[in-house]
Amino acid sequence: MPTQMQIEQITLVRTPQGRPVEADFALGPGTLPDVAALAEGHALVRVLALSLDPYLRSAMAGRHLSAAIAPGEVVRGEGLVEVTASRHPRMAPGSRWVAACGWRSAASLDPAAIEAARPVAPAIDPPTLALGVLGMPGLTAWAGFTKLAQARAGDTFVVSAAAGPVGATVGQLARIAGCRVVGIAGGPDKCRWVTEVAGLDACIDHRAPGEGGLRGALKRVCPDGVDVYFDNVGGDVLLAVCEQLALGARVVLCGLIAQYNGEAPVPLNPGLIIRARATLRGLVVYDHWADLPRMTAELSGHLAAGRLHFREDRSAGLASAPTAFVRLMNGLNQGKALVVL
Ligand code: NDP
């Protein structure tokens, strides 16, 4: 007779309106098939850490490339997992993976989820790096920088959300390539980390940019214009940087966090792009999975050499996931947002 094991899980209670709040989520019990009832081709995993990513907010509104997360469903998302039982040849018990486990303490992975999972090499230390700099955010940064930005030594390179896993990695790759790098981040703590630890040349605090607002700060810090802008936020930050583009500028459109909570898209004046003879390129990390080993090798080398720095924002316990996600969507995370179980 099939048996079940008890787990904890977090469901989406209702679609968030505007910025998400804790009451949009609920922690409750769930069940999984017991080892004895595990179907052929499936695996059971223990969740070690959840990756909280801004795109989940868009998925909760049904606006993301990935499938929508509807009220009543367990919140989807990837995590670092350890296999506890397996009836699939790809997953050995005890091995660690990044997989679509959802916001649960343990999960049953079906064959499709197992095929899409990515192994975590034991050399990756701490293993949570596979959710950050050496995972999806790192690949986003690496692919955007290496394949789309076309940055050259000496370029003035601006990156927004510069203290997060995507932005900080992009900024440091640009610094390593010899660009003059300016971050945009929210608050003095983030800006201090961006310049003093990540080693960017300057950082503009978009919450307190000084005289003339963000536009004034950009003019002061980038008097000759912006050669490359890596946009992680959209909104007014994108408009302000586009007003400051240098001739031949390249803009990588990566993220839209200023719109994820339902804000209207900003009207970008094409005249700004024409005037600068600029090139805009959209980035979707899913196009670049084949480059994961190359990215991992390159960024691991930079990490080992002390050229690349990262920061993790760790919350403890599954129950803390809603609060941690609310903090992320309010810009209060300091580095890669993780929930460690
Ligand atoms: P972060 O950890 O950087 O978190 C997002 C940050 O965005 C916040 O900490 C906050 O930083 C900033 N922010 C939040 N709201 C606003 C706002 N209204 N205006 C300006 N800034 C805001 O996230 P990630 O590094 O994981 O991701 C960065 C971006 O890259 C996101 O937009 C994400 O969706 C996107 N992305 C895109 C991918 C793709 O394939 N195109 C793949 C992966 C990520 P601060 O306080 O510094 O402003």
What confidence tens digit (pLDDT) does each residue in 57-84 have?
999 988 777 788 999 999 999 999 999 9
- The angle subtended at Cα 277 by Cα 274 and Cα 280, nearest 5°, is 85
What pLDDT band is residue 31 in, cutting at 50, 70 and 90? very high
95 CA distance to ligand 1 middle (Å): 31
37 CA distance to ligand 1 middle (Å): 41
310 CA distance to ligand 1 middle (Å): 15
| Ligand 1 atom with minimal separation from the 206 CA | 48
* Region at 86 (left for phi over 0; alpha for psi -120 to 50; beta for the rest): beta
161 CA distance to ligand 1 middle (Å): 5
> So what's the pLDDT on residue 34?
87
CA-proximal residue: ligand 1, atom 32 (nearest): 255
CA-proximal residue: ligand 1, atom 16 (nearest): 258
pLDDT in tens, 134-159: 999 999 999 999 999 999 999 999 99
Largest CA distance in the chain: 73
Q: Copy the structure tokens of residue 252.
A: 């990588």
> So what's the pLDDT on residue 1?
56
CA-proximal residue: ligand 1, atom 45 (nearest): 186
Using alpha carbons, select from 207, 184, 211 the residue that is nearest to residue 195.
184
% of the chain exceeding 90 in pLDDT: 91
295 CA distance to ligand 1 middle (Å): 20
| Ligand 1 atom with minimal separation from the 283 CA | 41
Mutate which of 158, 233, 295 for ligand 1? The one with the most ligand atoms within 8 Å of its CB, which is 233
| Ligand 1 atom with minimal separation from the 53 CA | 26
| Ligand 1 atom with minimal separation from the 140 CA | 42
> So what's the pLDDT on residue 68?
86
d(CA 15, CA 83): 32
| Centroid of chain to Cα 32 | 29
Question: What strand order describes the sheet that includes 202-205?
Answer: 202-205, 180-185, 156-160, 226-231, 245-253, 279-282
> How does DSSP classify residue 244?
T
334 CA distance to ligand 1 middle (Å): 12
93 CA distance to ligand 1 middle (Å): 35
Choose the weakest-confidence range: 45-49, 51-55, 83-87, 258-262.
258-262
Tell me how far CA of residue 43 lies from CA of 27, 49, 51, 73, in angstroms: 23, 18, 20, 21
Mutate which of 63, 166, 200, 203 for ligand 1? The one with the most ligand atoms within 8 Å of its CB, which is 166
Are residues 102 and 74 in contact, defined by beta-carbon separation less than 8 angstroms? yes
CA-proximal residue: ligand 1, atom 19 (nearest): 258
Q: Copy the structure tokens of residue 165.
A: 């896993």
pLDDT in tens, 4-22: 889 999 999 999 999 999 9
Q: Copy the structure tokens of residue 199.
A: 């080693």
**Pocket around ligand 1 at a 6 A CB cut-off:** 53-55, 137, 140, 161, 163-167, 185-186, 190, 206, 232-233, 235, 237, 254-258, 283-285, 328, 331, 333, 337
Full-model pTM: 0.95
What pLDDT band is residue 310 in, cutting at 50, 70 and 90? very high
Mutate which of 139, 238, 256, 257 for ligand 1? The one with the most ligand atoms within 8 Å of its CB, which is 257
